[in-house]
Amino acid sequence: MSFAAVSPGPITRVSARLLRRRAVVVGVGVSTAAAALVVPGAALAAALLAVAGAMLAVMALAALVAWRHGRRKAQAVRAVTDFIAHDAAPSLLADADGAILHANAAAQAHFDLSGDATVAGLLPDVFANPAMALYRLQARAQADGAAREDVVLRQGHMRIAVHRLGSDAFLWRLEDVADRPAPGQCGGAARLPAMTVGRGGTILYMNDAARKFLGGRAKAIERLFDGAPPRPGEINTVTTAEGPRACLVSESPSTGGRREIVLVPAKAPAAADTGDDGWRFFEDLPVALLRLDADSGRITLSNRLARDLLGAGRCHGRRLPELMEGLGRSIADWLEEAAAGRPARSSEFLRLSRTDSEMFVQVTLTRVDADGAPALIAVLNDATKLKTLEAQFVQSQKMQAIGELAGGVAHDFNNLLTAITGHCDLLLLRHDQGDPAYADLVQISQNANRAAALVGQLLAFSRKQTLRPEVLDLRDTLSDLTHLLNRLVGERVRLSLTHDPAQPMIRADKRQLEQVLMNLVVNARDAMTDGGEIQIRTDCMTLDEPLHRDRAVVPPGAYIRVMVSDDGVGIDPERLPKIFEPFYTTKRTGEGTGLGLSTAYGIVKQSGGYIFADSVPGSGSTFSLIFPRHQKSVDDAAAPAPRPANALAREPADGIVLLVEDEAPVRAFAARALRLRGYTVLEADSAEAALETLQDDTLAVDVFVTDVVMPGMDGPSWVVEALKQRPGVRVIFVSGYAEEAFGDVQARIPNSVFLPKPFSLSELTETVSRQLR
Quick one: three-class SS letters along 707-763?
A: ECCCCCCCHHHHHHHHHCCCCCCEEEEEECCCHHHCHHHHHCCCCEEEEECCCCHHH
At 7 the pLDDT is 38
Which residue would you say has higher pLDDT here, 225 or 265? 225
Find the helix or strand (DSSP H, E) in which 101 lies: strand 100-103
Mean pLDDT of 690-712: 90
Apex CA 42: angle with CA 40 and CA 46, to 5°?
115
At 682 the pLDDT is 93
HSE-CB at 623 with a 13 A cutoff on CA atoms is: 26
Find the helix or strand (DSSP H, E) in which 623 lies: strand 620-628
CA trace torsion 657, 660, 663, 666 (10° rounding): -20
Compute the Cα dihedral for 757, 758, 763, 765 and give only its sign: positive
Question: 469, 511 in Cβ contact below 8 A?
Answer: no
> What proportion of the chain, given as a percentage, has pLDDT over 70?
71
At 185 the pLDDT is 42
Interacting residues of 333 by C-beta distance below 8 A, sequence separation 6+: none
Mean pLDDT of 246-264: 76
Nearest Cα residue to 755 out of 511, 381, 466, 476: 466
Terminal-residue alpha carbon distance, the chain: 98
Mean pLDDT of 391-419: 72
Read off the pLDDT of residues 722-762 as tens digits, 9 standing for 90 and up.
998 888 899 999 887 765 556 566 667 888 888 888 888 88
Read off the pLDDT of residues 6-47 as tens digits, 9 standing for 90 and up.
433 333 444 444 455 555 555 655 666 565 566 566 666 666
At 36 the pLDDT is 55
Mean pLDDT of the chain: 76
Read off the pLDDT of residues 371-393 as tens digits, 9 standing for 90 and up.
667 788 888 888 888 877 777 67
Residues 266 and 192: their CA atoms lie apart, in Å, by 12
Q: What is the DSSP string of 280-326?
A: TTGGG-SSEEEEEETTT-BEEEE-HHHHHHHT-S--TT-BHHHHEE-
At 105 the pLDDT is 85
Which residue would you say has higher pLDDT here, 58 or 257? 257
Interacting residues of 706 by C-beta distance below 8 A, sequence separation 6+: 658, 659, 660, 661, 687, 690, 715, 718, 719, 731, 732, 733, 734
If DSSP codes are grouped into helix, strand and coil, which group holds residue 585? coil
Claim: this prediction has a pTM higher than 0.95 = no
Question: 734, 466 in Cβ contact below 8 A?
Answer: no
Exposed/middle/buried for 86, CB within 10 Å: 0-12, 13-18, 19+? exposed
Q: Which long-range contacts (CB under 8 A, 24 or more apart) does 574-577 make?
A: 576/613, 576/615, 577/550
Which residue would you say has higher pLDDT here, 331 or 648? 331
Residues 311 and 298: their CA atoms lie apart, in Å, by 17
Q: Is the pLDDT of residue 537 over 80?
A: yes
Read off the pLDDT of residues 203-224 as tens digits, 9 standing for 90 and up.
888 888 888 888 888 888 888 8
Q: Is the pLDDT of residue 567 over 50?
A: yes
C-alpha separations of 663 from 143, 414, 451, 710, 762 in Å:
70, 11, 19, 9, 20
Residues 128 and 135: their CA atoms lie apart, in Å, by 14
pLDDT band at 612 (very low <50, low <70, confident <90, very high): very high
Residues 579 and 595: their CA atoms lie apart, in Å, by 10
What letters, b where the CB count within 10 A reaches 16 and e where it falls short, cover 218-249? beebeebbeeeebebbbbbebebeeeebebbb
HSE-CB at 87 with a 13 A cutoff on CA atoms is: 22
Which residue would you say has higher pLDDT here, 258 or 104? 104
Helix/strand/coil (H/E/C) assignment for every residue in 368-389? EEECCEEEEEEEEEECHHHHHH
**DSSP conformation class of 181:** P
Read off the pLDDT of residues 459-505 as tens digits, 9 standing for 90 and up.
655 555 556 678 888 888 888 888 778 878 888 888 898 888 777 78
Q: Is the pLDDT of residue 3 over 50?
A: no
At 75 the pLDDT is 60
Nearest Cα residue to 301 out of 334, 264, 253: 264
At 165 the pLDDT is 79
Question: 691, 721 in Cβ contact below 8 A?
Answer: yes
Residue type (1 letter), 26: V
Interacting residues of 570 by C-beta distance below 8 A, sequence separation 6+: 527, 615, 616, 617, 618, 619, 620, 621
Mean pLDDT of 647-674: 79
Phi, psi of 596 (to 5 degrees): -60, -55
At 646 the pLDDT is 41
Which residue would you say has higher pLDDT here, 512 or 1? 512
At 457 the pLDDT is 61
Exposed/middle/buried for 88, CB within 10 Å: 0-12, 13-18, 19+? exposed
Mean pLDDT of 671-678: 89
At 434 the pLDDT is 79
Mean pLDDT of 332-357: 75
At 658 the pLDDT is 94
Read off the pLDDT of residues 584-593 as tens digits, 9 standing for 90 and up.
666 665 555 5
HSE-CB at 476 with a 13 A cutoff on CA atoms is: 9
